[in-house]
């Protein structure tokens, strides 16, 4: 599905980002993997993807840095010559309630979750515009559409900002055949749910109409669809992967 496509994936060392990277590798893409600080995990994902036949380069750094995003793009062009797909999966979250959120904490969450999406998208858009082809997929959150008592407002605001930014890009770049979409996961069985007590996990499941947590592979499969030509007439949309959580 992604033969001869070049994909940049942030947050690629674990969880949803890792699953997306390996799914893309299985489907023929060459990969540019990015993570903040976990070199061992990043190297492991790189090796797994290479065993699946993918050509892979990997970088550690902070997507909240404009210069790092410029570096990723420059090295991608040096290695592969173009960029076809960008998946903005990197993110951070805090749990402080509103009155306890520090200015530094507020800025950091917005820097990673919103500004990082802006910086890297801005880097690749001229390439996609010139090619008159491209896919940008942003990982937002169910919390952009429904507040959650255990999340800091900074997280919800950052993800809501990504939703608005995605719609704007979709409108601005539709004439260049660049499709920009969101995926909004609900409760997915990543590291945090796995660390919960049996009772806490059950309460989480009980609140979901499908009575289970989502799997990272289910998010990865949706991302593959949006990255492929199967979704060539879809742009400016948000796909919700949450087992029905927003209908209750």
CATH homologous superfamily of 6-188+216-247 equals NAD(P)-binding Rossmann-like Domain (3.40.50.720)
pLDDT of residue 137 exceeding 90: yes
CA angle 225, 154, 108 (to 5 degrees): 90
pTM to 2 decimals?
0.95
Q: Which of 119, 155, 173, 233 is catalytic?
A: 155
Cβ(185)–Cβ(137) under 8 Å? no
* pLDDT score, position 191: 79
pLDDT > 70: what percent of the chain? 100
- Mean pLDDT, all residues of the chain: 95
User: Is 155 annotated as catalytic?
Assistant: yes
pLDDT range class, residue 241, cuts 50, 70, 90: very high
Domain map of the chain by residue range?
6-188+216-247
| Alpha helices, H only, 27-115 | 39-51, 66-80, 103-110
Report d(CA 227, CA 243) in Å as an integer: 22
Give pLDDT, residue 248. 65
User: Which pair of structure tokens corresponds to residue 234?
Assistant: 């879809």
Position 94 scores a pLDDT of 85
What does the pLDDT look like over 182-229, one tens digit per residue? 999 999 998 777 777 888 889 889 989 999 999 999 999 999 999 999
Mean pLDDT of all residues in 168-188? 97
Angle 129-130-135 from CA coordinates, rounded to 5°: 40
Summarize the chain as % helix, strand, coil (round to 5).
50, 15, 30
What's the average model confidence in pLDDT over 40-52?
97
Give 139-153 pLDDT, tens digit per residue.
999 988 988 777 789
Q: Residue 215 to residues 1, 2, 179, 194: CA-CA distances in angstroms?
A: 21, 22, 25, 12
Query: Is a pLDDT exceeding 90 seen at residue 70?
Result: yes
Residues 77-128: pLDDT tens digits?
999 999 999 999 999 988 888 999 999 999 999 999 999 999 999 999 999 9
pLDDT for 96: 86
R_g of the chain computed on alpha carbons: 17
Q: What is the pLDDT of residue 140?
A: 96
Give the tokens for residue 207.
């609140």
Q: Which residues pair with 134 in a beta bridge?
A: 178
């Amino acid at each position: 599905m992604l033969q001869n496509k070049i994909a940049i994936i942030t947050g690629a060392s674990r969880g949803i980002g890792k699953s997306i990277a390996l799914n893309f590798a299985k489907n023929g893409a060459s990969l540019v993997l990015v993570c903040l600080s976990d070199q061992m995990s990043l190297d492991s994902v790189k090796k797994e993807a290479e065993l699946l036949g993918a050509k892979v380069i990997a970088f550690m750094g902070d997507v909240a840095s404009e210069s790092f995003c410029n570096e990723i793009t420059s090295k991608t062009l040096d290695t592969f010559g173009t960029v076809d797909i960008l998946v903005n999966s990197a993110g951070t979250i805090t749990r402080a309630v509103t009155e306890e959120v520090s200015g530094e904490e507020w800025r950091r969450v917005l820097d990673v979750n919103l500004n990082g999406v802006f910086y890297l998208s801005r880097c690749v858009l001229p390439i996609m515009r010139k090619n008159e082809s491209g896919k940008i997929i942003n990982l937002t959150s169910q919390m952009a559409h429904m507040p959650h008592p255990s999340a800091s407002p900074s997280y919800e605001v950052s993800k809501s900002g990504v939703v608005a930014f995605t719609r704007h890009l979709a409108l601005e770049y539709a004439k260049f055949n660049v499709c920009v979409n969101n995926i909004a996961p609900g409760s997915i069985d990543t590291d945090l749910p796995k660390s919960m007590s049996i009772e806490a996990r059950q309460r989480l499941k009980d609140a979901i109409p499908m009575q289970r947590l989502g799997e990272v592979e289910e998010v990865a499969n949706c991302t593959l669809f949006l990255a492929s030509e199967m979704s060539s007439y879809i742009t400016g949309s948000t796909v919700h992967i949450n087992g029905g959580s927003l209908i209750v």
